[in-house]
């Protein structure tokens, strides 16, 4: 018996967890000397989007032909080569769409549509009627095979299920005749709960019956119809099938993970490590219940490993817009790669790291003479360059009360060309934090600039500079002449110095304002000065032709305020 360690104060849950059984009590998973843990994914599997069938059957409002057509065109444009287009015997809408594809000549030569059918002769006939005229198609037969589904849903034992499958497969073979463009697919629905020997019996029986060959392979698609276990278990199940399926070179081993445990992506990836060659899923993970595995995430996960995903997701927002329109479902803002917020940092240390990383990336690219968009990527907190999926850097850093000086400085620089000196950043970040703490909201780049302007770009009221001029009288000797208003005293003053700024400081001293300039920098857009007046230190800034003078005046006024 395990005892709870003292450092763990958790209490037993009152929820009735005893009602559920672990996977090992529900299905036997043959123990293998697993190869998948040490395998690597070095190329993309064949991706097969099933949005127009599995995704569609999960929608409250199934797609009509215009929506399906728009989705189909998107899938083709992204680069998918095998696309499940429907369940033609399910409804007139589905049948009509497949007819639309067949009659309209809209399927490119290198794209193969897949159509889905249950194991019933009348529905198989309807399916073949739908694909009449298509030069290529995969006809996909399914039936549930696990004990609970056999007993509760189908009311058939193993032998009866095989007889049903065999009858359906023979009927499909008859309907296909010798049409060279028709291939077959079989899915033992609820594969992950099915006895492994029964899976092999059914799949091998069909490989033989359909006389699969390397030139005309059969697809055996092994779904995690409802996820039941950790992804390593699915990987073991797939590796067992991979090693034991007959005529393996005539079989395309496919997987179809759902996402009930939230581990669909992990299941698919481990299944590919275990020998799967083809993956069915939906864009952004639409599908029954918690959805099918998300093909966009899978493809971009490969991309982020430097592996060619074999699809083009370079404009992910356009892809997302179309999918959202067709499914009438939104994509979550935290959705991997595609959500509105996934390339954005609000928190200070992340922003600091990203800002430094982007600058370092630009520097390395420049030094190696490579365009930034082609240079190797290693920016902290950003798994891929947002620009690779068509995102700008605008949304990478956003500021609220949890942000720090790095993020604030980044936004001022990138949006307004104001490059705050390193020591001034903390000063402005405090101002921003106070404002965002007060508002409880994010500060947009425009609002940040307004805050910067109001804080530093106003000359102030305590010491006012009226008419003034500065000139270099002799090399290295500057004279500053002005009218200064300090408190209730107004007077004409002048000062000299090695530069206009020191001459101005000298004039200020004449007016009784003793100023020490601790730091001064100027870039093309603005000047920044840190001054000490009467023991108080403050930063100021100025823009325009007399930026330096205004920066000092602003700092002085902020110090004496």
Ligand X SMILES: CC(C)C(=O)C(=O)O
Q: How far apart are CA 116 and CA 123, in angstroms?
A: 10
Residue 90 binds ligand ACO (CB under 6 A): yes
Q: How far apart are CA 453 and CA 448, in angstroms?
A: 9
Residue 127 binds ligand X (CB under 6 A): no
- Inter-axis angle of helices 500-510 and 547-560, to 10 degrees? 40
Q: Mask 113-152, x = binds ligand ACO (CB under 6 A)?
A: -----xxx--x------------------xx---------
Q: Name which of residues 32 to 91 contact Mg ion (CB under 5 A).
A: 54
The DSSP result for 515-529, as a single string, is EEEEEEEE-SSEEEE
Shortest separation between residue 55's beta carbon and ligand ACO, angstroms? 10
Q: Which is nearer to ligand ACO, 218 or 443 (CB)?
A: 218
Q: Which is nearer to ligand ACO, 123 or 318 (CB)?
A: 123
Residue 256 binds ligand X (CB under 6 A): yes
Q: How far apart are CA 55 and CA 247, in angstroms?
A: 32
Q: Which of 205, 220, 197 is nearest to 170 (CA)?
A: 205
Binding at 187: pick from Mg ion, ligand ACO, ligand X, none (beta carbon under 5-8 Å per type) = ligand X
Q: Which is nearer to ligand X, 56 or 297 (CB)?
A: 56
Q: How far apart are CA 218 and CA 251, in angstroms?
A: 5
Q: Which residues contact 255 (CB under 8 A, 6 or more apart)?
A: 221, 222, 223, 224, 234, 238, 267, 268, 271, 272, 276, 278, 279, 280
- For ligand ACO, the binding residue among 153, 359, 373, 454 (CB under 6 A) is 153
Residue 185 binds ligand ACO (CB under 6 A): no
Binding at 119: pick from ligand ACO, ligand X, Mg ion, none (beta carbon under 5-8 Å per type) = ligand ACO
256 is in an annotated binding site: yes
For residue 399, list its beta bridge partners.
Answer: 443
Stretch that binds ligand X, among 156-164, 221-229, 231-239, 414-422 (CB under 6 A): 221-229
β-bridge pairing 278-281 and 46-49: parallel
In the three-class reduction of DSSP (H, G, I as helix; E, B as strand; rest coil), residue 431 is classed as helix
Q: Mask 45-64, x = binds ligand X (CB under 6 A)?
A: ---------x----------
Sign of CA dihedral 539, 542, 546, 548: positive
466 is in an annotated binding site: no
Q: How far apart are CA 527 and CA 538, in angstroms?
A: 14
Q: How far apart are CA 320 and CA 302, in angstroms?
A: 19
258 is in an annotated binding site: yes
Residue 118 binds ligand X (CB under 6 A): no
Residue 521 binds ligand ACO (CB under 6 A): no
Residue with the two structure tokens 């193969």: 112
Cα-flanking dihedrals φ and ψ of residue 217, to 5°? Answer: -70, 155
Binding at 90: pick from Mg ion, ligand ACO, ligand X, none (beta carbon under 5-8 Å per type) = ligand ACO
Shortest separation between residue 220's beta carbon and ligand ACO, angstroms? 15
Residue 223 binds ligand X (CB under 6 A): yes
Tell me how crowded residue 395 is: count the other CB atoms within 10 A of its CB. 14
Q: Residue 404: how many CA atoms within 13 Å on its side-chain side? A: 12
How far is C-alpha 149 from the geometric centre of its chain's CA atoms? 36
β-bridge pairing 526-533 and 536-543: antiparallel
Q: Which of 449, 425, 447, 427 is nearest to 438 (CA)?
A: 447
- For ligand ACO, the binding residue among 59, 154, 304, 431 (CB under 6 A) is 154
- For ligand X, the binding residue among 142, 284, 410, 428 (CB under 6 A) is 142
For residue 474, list its beta bridge partners.
Answer: 477
Q: Which is nearer to Mg ion, 54 or 84 (CB)?
A: 54
Number of residues interacting with Mg ion: please give it, by CB under 5 A: 1
- For ligand X, the binding residue among 146, 207, 225, 237 (CB under 6 A) is 225
Shortest separation between residue 120's beta carbon and ligand ACO, angstroms? 5
Shortest separation between residue 62's beta carbon and Mg ion, angstroms? 15
Q: Which is nearer to ligand X, 189 or 459 (CB)?
A: 189
Residue 55 binds ligand ACO (CB under 6 A): no
Q: How far apart are CA 156 and CA 152, in angstroms?
A: 9
Residue 221 binds ligand X (CB under 6 A): yes
**Which two tokens mark 560?**
């004496």
350 is in an annotated binding site: no
Site residues (vs Mg ion, CB under 5 A): 54
Site residues (vs ligand X, CB under 6 A): 54, 142, 187, 189, 221, 223, 225, 256, 258
Known binding-site residues for Mg(2+) equal: 54, 256, 258, 292
Known binding-site residues equal: 54, 256, 258, 292
Site residues (vs ligand ACO, CB under 6 A): 54, 57, 87, 89-91, 118-120, 123, 142-143, 153-154, 189, 225
């Amino acid at each position: 018996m395990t005892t709870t360690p003292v450092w763990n104060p958790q209490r037993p849950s009152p929820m009735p967890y005893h009602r559920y059984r672990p996977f090992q009590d529900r299905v036997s998973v043959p123990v293998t000397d697993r190869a998948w843990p040490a395998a690597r994914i070095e190329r993309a599997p064949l991706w097969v989007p099933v949005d127009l069938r599995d995704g569609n059957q999960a929608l409250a409002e199934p797609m009509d032909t215009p929506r399906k057509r728009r989705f189909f065109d998107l899938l083709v444009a992204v680069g998918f080569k095998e696309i499940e287009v429907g369940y033609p015997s399910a409804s007139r809408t589905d049948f009509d769409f497949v007819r639309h594809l067949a009659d309209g000549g809209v399927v490119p030569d290198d794209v193969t549509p897949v159509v889905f059918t249950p194991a019933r002769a009348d529905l198989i006939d309807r399916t073949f009627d739908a694909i009449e005229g298509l030069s290529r198609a995969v006809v996909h037969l399914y039936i549930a095979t696990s004990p609970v589904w056999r007993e509760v849903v189908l009311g058939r034992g193993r032998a009866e299920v095989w007889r049903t499958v065999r009858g359906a497969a023979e009927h499909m073979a008859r309907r296909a005749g010798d049409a060279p463009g028709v291939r077959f697919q079989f899915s033992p629905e609820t594969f992950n709960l099915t006895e492994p020997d029964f899976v092999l019996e059914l799949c091998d029986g069909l490989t033989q019956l359909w006389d699969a060959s390397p030139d005309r392979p059969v697809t055996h698609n092994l779904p995690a119809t409802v996820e039941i276990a950790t992804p390593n278990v699915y990987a073991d199940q797939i590796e067992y099938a991979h090693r034991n399926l007959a005529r393996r070179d005539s079989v395309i081993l496919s997987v179809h993970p759902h996402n009930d445990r939230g581990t669909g992506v992990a299941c698919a990836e481990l299944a590919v490590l275990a020998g799967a060659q083809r993956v069915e899923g939906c864009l952004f993970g639409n599908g029954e219940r918690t959805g099918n595995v998300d093909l966009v995430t899978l493809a971009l996960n490969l991309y982020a490993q430097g592996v060619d995903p074999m699809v083009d997701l370079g404009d992910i927002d356009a892809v997302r817009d179309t999918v959202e329109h067709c499914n009438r479902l939104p994509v979550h803002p935290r959705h991997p790669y595609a959500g509105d917020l996934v390339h954005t940092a609000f928190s200070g240390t992340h922003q600091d790291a990203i800002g430094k990383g982007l600058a370092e990336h630009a520097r390395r690219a420049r030094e190696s003479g490579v365009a930034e968009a082609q240079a190797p990527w290693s920016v902290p907190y950003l798994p891929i360059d947002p620009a690779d999926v068509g995102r700008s850097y605008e949304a990478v850093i956003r500021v609220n009360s949890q942000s720090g000086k790095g993020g604030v400085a980044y936004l001022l620089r990138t949006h307004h060309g104001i490059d705050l000196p390193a020591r001034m950043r903390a000063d402005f970040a405090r101002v921003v934090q106070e404002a965002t703490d007060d508002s409880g909201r994010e500060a947009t780049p425009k609002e940040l600039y307004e805050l910067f302007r109001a804080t530093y770009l106003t000359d102030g009221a305590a010491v006012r500079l009226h008419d003034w001029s500065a000139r270099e009288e002799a090399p290295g000797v500057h004279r500053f002449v002005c009218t200064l208003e300090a408190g209730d005293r107004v007077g004409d003053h002048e000062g000299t110095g090695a530069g206009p700024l020191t001459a101005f400081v000298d004039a200020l001293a004449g007016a009784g304002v003793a100023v020490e300039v601790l730091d001064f920098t100027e870039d093309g857009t603005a000047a920044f000065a840190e001054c000490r007046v009467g023991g108080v230190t403050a930063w100021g800034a100025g823009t325009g032709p007399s930026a330096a003078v205004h920066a000092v005046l602003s700092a002085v006024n902020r110090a004496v305020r």
